[in-house]
Structure 1
Amino acid sequence: MVKKAILIGINYPGTEGELLGCIDDVKQMHKSLVELFGFSEENITELIDTDKSKIQPTGKNIRQALSGLVGSAKSGDVLCVHYSGHGTRLPPETGEDDDTEFDECIVPSDNNYITDDEIIEIVSKVPKDCSFTFVSDSCHSGGLIDSAKEQIGESFKKKPKKEFKFPFGLTSINMLKRGTGRDDIEVGNIRTTIFDVFGEDATPKVKKFMKTEVMSKKEVYAGASNGGLENECVLLSGCQTDQTSADVGSKGQAYGAFTNSIQIILGETKGKINYKELVLKSRKLLEKQGYSQRPGLYCSDSYVNVPFIC
């Protein structure tokens, strides 16, 4: 058995959407994996945007890291991914069929969005009997792997809102404009802009959309024939699909509220806690601290009471 992890932290320095705590989240998670869960340093890969000596968390690099993590895994391995950064929701465009009305996405440092469909497709290739834990401290993260059963959460118990609003006002649009050098971006042409700028490095969902061969989520799920999505993947989300995740503190001492809650609980329990207990305790702690976000747990029934990560 080998334990491997990909840790992604994006602070977006110098942009309108700059965050403060994502890199610190990666450092804290790295420490916990080594000290509490027995991960070797050589099996932990960090992608952060505040240190040029590290692999930069661009869309292409994140895709390659995730695909490499899953592709090199063998039965019995333990895989962990932690993401701290912006999350957003792309509205549907003409000709697109989407069950949830939105594509939940994570936002790489170069704004080359990675959609929920793409994450699902990668996770579907996890080998049998190989565990995969995805912790996402980002806005709208409850929908990132929405084929996994919702064990704790409210993301799929209510109809999606028809209207679209960016999670942080016009920040998403402005970050895209600055990152791509395009001033003509608006809600109706986000996907076409991403394709124009990133081409073959764009998310497959965008490429399929541009070729008018739009693939619905049901088709993506059907491709996961080995049952990997249902049986092997566990998603811990910092909030529900219609919520945002808090970035707290100031330069020098900052963190994501969800990640911080996890670290507090892991410290108190020495890492001896199952998925369900961890998410429930995180919910209570965040509520006590005054945050409205409600973390979620998405996995098969067989993983609910399994020890966190290992």
Structure 2
Amino acid sequence: MATGLALHIGLNRVDPDRYEGWDGALVACENDARDMARIARAAGFESTVLLTPDCTVAGVTAALDQAAARLGPGDILLFSYSGHGGQVADDSGSDAEPDALDETLVLYDRQFLDDEVQRAFRAFADGVRIVALLDCCHSGSGIEVPGGGAAAEGTPRYLPEPRQRQLSDRDRSFYEELRRSLAKEASADGAAPDAVLVSACQDNQVASDGDVNGAFTAALLRVWDDGAFTGGYRDFHRAIQRRLPPTQSPNLYLTGTPAPDFLSQRPFTI
């Protein structure tokens, strides 16, 4: 029988000492993580929930490493993130992404590059199904390739642009060295993992916070309807997309070559 492990991350703020005085206060991200864990547990997943101060780079990578050590071919990882999304300048020349920006998950102690997400996912055995649900800004391809900026209703879940520039300048040498290391690892590891991302918005958009849940998570919960939903991942994505405005259009993004029967499975199927 297949094993399902889930990691749910929710940050209502970050450490201002690590973000030049900015605490990034949000309302609904911890609720999002708890609600995603509730769905996952009902579907039979063993879930780990990390909330605000525990959502450090070390904490998140340790939880993903533990999951990678336990899962084998035919098993499934569910990874959900709710918090701020950010971007940092990518000065890696010919290897840089088209917009010269790396997308990030804004963890409690520092920004976590999309390339670092890929490294964590590459640690899983071939044949492990990986599903990522990202409720943050600029998340359209946040498990691999990043993007731009637009407007949404409500409080946006993004690191403000002036702060992004300040942090990007401050940490430029750190991220340059990190990218070089990640690029070497990626070339040695070969193909990208087979992963399915359903994100809160496109790369050039922002995602809205809410009083109870983020706009994306709230739409997901309505579509899921306590398990009444019966379609596959493409149907799931389209149904969520219909419940959100054009300014926040969820994306379906694939890495590797997920099998057709994986994509046609009902979400949260172990």
Tell me the TM-score normalized by structure 1: 0.71
Q: 1:25 is matched with which residue? A: 32
Is 1:309 the equivalent of 2:262? no
- Secondary structure in 2 matching 1:128: coil
Give 4+ residue runs of structure 1 displaced > 6 Å after superposition. none
Aligned partner letter, 2:44: G
Distance 1:259 1:186, change over 3 A: closer
Shift of 1:145: 2.2
Rounded Cα–Cα distance in structure 2 between residues aligned with 1:309 and 1:206: 37
Q: 1:152 is matched with which residue? A: none
Q: 1:176 is matched with which residue? A: none
Q: 2:248 is matched with which residue? A: 293
Q: 1:259 is matched with which residue? A: 217
Q: 1:150 is matched with which residue? A: none
Task: Pick the aligned partner of 1:116 from 95, 114, 117.
Answer: 114
**What is the number of residues matched between the two proteins?**
249
**Which structure 1 residue ranges, 5 or more long, are not aligned?**
51-55, 148-154, 174-184, 196-204
**Which structure 2 residue ranges, 5 or more long, are not aligned?**
17-21, 149-157
Rounded Cα–Cα distance in structure 2 between residues aligned with 1:21 and 1:2: 29
The Cα offsets for residues 255-279 of structure 1, whole Å up to 9 and x where unpaired, read as: 1111111111111652423110111
Q: 1:88 is matched with which residue? A: 86
Percentage identity across aligned positions?
23
- Secondary structure in 2 matching 1:142: coil
| RMSD, matched Cα | 2.8
After superposition, residues 192-271 of structure 1 pair within 5 angstroms as 192=173, 195=174, 206-208=176-178, 213=180, 216=183, 221-225=186-190, 227=191, 229=193, 232-249=194-211, 254-267=212-225, 270-271=228-229
The Cα offsets for residues 86-118 of structure 1, whole Å up to 9 and x where unpaired, read as: 1111112476841231111101112x2111111
Tell me the TM-score normalized by structure 2: 0.81
Shift of 1:307: 2.0
Aligned partner letter, 1:108: L
Aligned partner letter, 2:169: G
After superposition, residues 57-76 of structure 1 pair within 5 angstroms as 57-76=55-74
Shift of 1:248: 1.2
After superposition, residues 109-148 of structure 1 pair within 5 angstroms as 109-110=108-109, 112-146=110-144
Task: Pick the aligned partner of 1:99 from 97, 100, 106.
Answer: 97
Task: Pick the aligned partner of 2:237 from 275, 279, 295.
Answer: 279
Shift of 1:214: 6.6
Query: Which of 1 and 2 has greater Rg?
Result: 1
Rounded Cα–Cα distance in structure 1 between residues aligned with 2:236 and 2:196: 13
